């Protein structure tokens, strides 16, 4: 299934994308794409609905973030071998974890707003993993059983805030609008091999990033298992799993960063496309 949330910010309704690409209203059956709806039982109940009984949404509404109720937005840094190489970083021995504020989460086509003083705002197409049920001390072999589904994420980053203002990477990762998520949550049964998904990102129509999840240093299963040894993963929690090469900070001889009016477009195979216009905060 391709599940989504649509409508004005803070007023999103649950939806489903049918086989013909129509947006159908799920609100008579579930209050949100969140919580128990993400469990195996909740998803099975949604699969049992006759899709043709659902009303087609005739307008073209805004898509919101594809999952609600997120309490943790976790990100894995330097998780693609080719991206680590372009930044000159050593291959990490364990997954590098940093947190992104949940207030950064926006819809897949919402504007990305550079904060005041930003001069180094960068792009990062990433595979998002959404947890479907409580997850603690799980093995790699069982880890994917705890996934509700997958989505596209743009881990927008302000590199000066991230690296030059003393403190954690979170400073450059958590700015408002720096977490476009969606358009859809694609349930795990629809993804044959999560470690073989093509991805790309364009800026102003120019291809900047091209990659595949097969160059991840730590697989999705390894990441989930590792994090679950540290704390409980909960339904609706999101893990952004790292980015392939082609980010602005890695461009030679001089890095290239976003400016007002730039347009980012990005997609992961089977998970949907995003498009954001860059604005400067007033």
Residue 75 has pLDDT above 80, yes or no: yes
pTM, 2 dp: 0.96
16 φ, ψ (degrees, to nearest 5): -140, 140
Question: What is the Rg, in whole angstroms, of the alpha carbon atoms belonging to the chain?
Answer: 18
Residue 89 has pLDDT above 80, yes or no: no
Paired sense of beta strands 157-158 and 121-122, if any? antiparallel
CA distance 39 to 37: 6
Q: How confident is the model at residue 187 (pLDDT cuts 50, 70, 90)?
A: very high
Tokens encoding 56: 């087609």
Per-residue model confidence as pLDDT tens digits over 223-255: 999 999 999 999 999 999 999 999 999 998 999
DSSP 62: P
Q: How confident is the model at residue 68 (pLDDT cuts 50, 70, 90)?
A: very high
CA distance 31 to 14: 7
Tokens encoding 144: 């994917």
Q: What is the CATH number of domain 73-280?
A: 3.90.850.10
Q: What is the mean pLDDT of residues 204-221?
A: 97
Residue 166 has pLDDT above 80, yes or no: no
CA distance 106 to 116: 19
Q: What is the mean pLDDT of residues 139-160?
A: 97
pLDDT, the chain, mean? 95
Residue 86 has pLDDT above 90, yes or no: no
The answer to whether 149 and 181 are in contact (CB under 8 A) is no
Cβ neighbour number for residue 53 with a 10 Å cutoff: 9
**Pick from 92, 31, 23, 95: which is nearest to 60 by CA?**
23
Residue 142 has pLDDT above 80, yes or no: yes
The continuous run of DSSP H or E covering 279 comes out as: strand 272-280
Domain boundaries, the chain: 2-53, 73-280
CA distances from 11 to 24, 28, 75, 106 (A): 16, 15, 26, 13
Q: What is the pLDDT of residue 170?
A: 84
């Amino acid at each position: 299934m391709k599940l989504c949330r649509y409508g004005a910010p803070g007023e999103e309704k649950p939806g489903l994308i049918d086989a013909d690409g129509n947006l159908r209203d799920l609100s008579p059956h579930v209050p949100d794409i969140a919580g128990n709806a993400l469990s195996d039982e909740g998803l099975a109940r949604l699969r049992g609905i006759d899709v043709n009984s659902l009303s087609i949404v005739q307008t073209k509404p805004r898509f919101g973030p594809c999952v609600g109720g997120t309490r943790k937005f976790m990100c894995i840094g330097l998780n693609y071998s080719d991206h680590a190489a372009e930044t000159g970083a050593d291959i990490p021995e364990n997954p590098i974890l940093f947190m992104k504020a949940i207030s950064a989460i926006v819809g897949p086509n919402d504007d990305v707003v550079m904060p005041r003083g930003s001069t180094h705002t960068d792009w990062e197409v990433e595979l998002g993993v959404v947890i479907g049920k409580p997850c603690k001390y799980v093995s790699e072999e069982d880890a994917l059983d705890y996934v509700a589904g997958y989505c596209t994420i743009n881990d927008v980053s302000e590199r000066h805030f991230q690296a030059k203002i003393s403190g954690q990477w979170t400073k450059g990762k958590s700015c408002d609008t720096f977490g476009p998520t969606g358009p859809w949550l694609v349930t795990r049964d629809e993804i044959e091999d999560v470690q073989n998904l093509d991805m790309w990102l364009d800026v102003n129509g120019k291809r900047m990033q091209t990659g595949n999840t097969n160059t991840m240093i730590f697989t999705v299963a390894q990441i989930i298992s590792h994090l679950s040894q540290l704390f409980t993963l909960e339904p609706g929690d999101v893990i952004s799993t790292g980015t392939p090469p082609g980010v602005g900070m890695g461009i030679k001889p001089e890095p290239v960063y976003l400016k007002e009016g730039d347009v980012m477009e990005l997609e992961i195979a089977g998970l949907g496309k995003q498009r954001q216009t860059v604005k400067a905060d007033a």
